[in-house]
Chains A and B, each alone.
Chain A
Amino acid sequence: MNIFRLAGDVSHLVAILILLMKIWRSKSCAGISGRSQVLFALVFTTRYLDLFTVYISAYNTVMKVVFLALSYATVYLIYMRFRNSYDSENDTFRVEFLLIPVIGLSFLENYAFTPLEILWTFSIFLESVAIMPQLFMITKTGEAESITTHYLFFLGLYRALYIANWVWRYHTEGFYDQIAIVSGVVQTIFYCDFFYLYVTRGEEIRTPS
């Protein structure tokens, strides 16, 4: 554990909590892509199956359970509790265009051809593109509330901090995880355009129409 990794995990947790609290307090999920949130729940589910097979640390176990619980709570709020406010007309990104290539790639490129490893690889690849329905929705409607942009900022910051963590680990431990690093860099690149808008235009984002 190093400071970049810890800051990355905290940033990830903050992002998820910002979104959950926004929906809970406003009793509305307007402007939020339910499809992205289902994909993130799928990411956590397929990645954290090792909760049942290996014990790493109390921190690791607790964080995994928290991420799983919060992601399912978010999906529940969007599709059940506050479904009247769900903007399904603008949440139209075709997720099969993400899922099919990601499933194919995880069978081709993995560390071992076993169910758990393939599912782990699937989760890493899927995470790198899971935000696309949300970014698509913002492009389609041309706007995002400031609280939604804070969510995206912390979510992008999380993977950027993980890159620093990987650089650190490579230099101090000689450790590197090629699949995670390549996917993490791709994932972070998707946020660059957003980061630019966030910094230059301030919180509330309107895309040029």
Chain B
Amino acid sequence: SDNESGKDEL
């Protein structure tokens, strides 16, 4: 997964 935007953790 890339780190920019769209992070799935809260």
A interface list, Cβ under 8 A from B: 5, 9, 12, 50, 53-54, 56-57, 60, 63-64, 67, 111-112, 114, 116-117, 120, 162, 165, 173, 175, 177, 180
Contact = CB atoms under 8 A, between A and B. Distances in A.
Contacts of B5: 50, 53-54, 116-117
Contacts of B1: 173, 175
Nearest to A177: B3
Contacts of B9: 5, 162, 165, 177, 180
* Interface of chain B: mostly helix, strand, loop or mixed: loop
Interface residues of B, number: 9
Interface of B: 1, 3-10
5 contacts: A9-B10, A50-B7, A57-B8, A111-B3, A116-B5
Which 8 pairs between the two chains have the least Cβ-Cβ distance?
A54-B6, A111-B3, A112-B4, A56-B8, A111-B4, A63-B10, A175-B1, A54-B5
A68 B5 CA distance: 19
B7 to A, nearest CB: 7
B10 A12 contact: yes
A60 B3 contact: no
Contact of A56 (B3, B4, B6): B6
B10 A64 contact: yes
A116 B6 CA distance: 11
A67 B10 contact: yes
Q: Which of B6, B8, B10 has the most CB of A within 10 A?
A: B10
Nearest to A13: B10
A116 B3 CA distance: 12
A50 B10 contact: no
A89 to B, nearest CB: 34
A64 B9 CA distance: 10
A44 B2 CA distance: 21
A131 to B, nearest CB: 17
Nearest to A178: B3
A165 B4 CA distance: 19
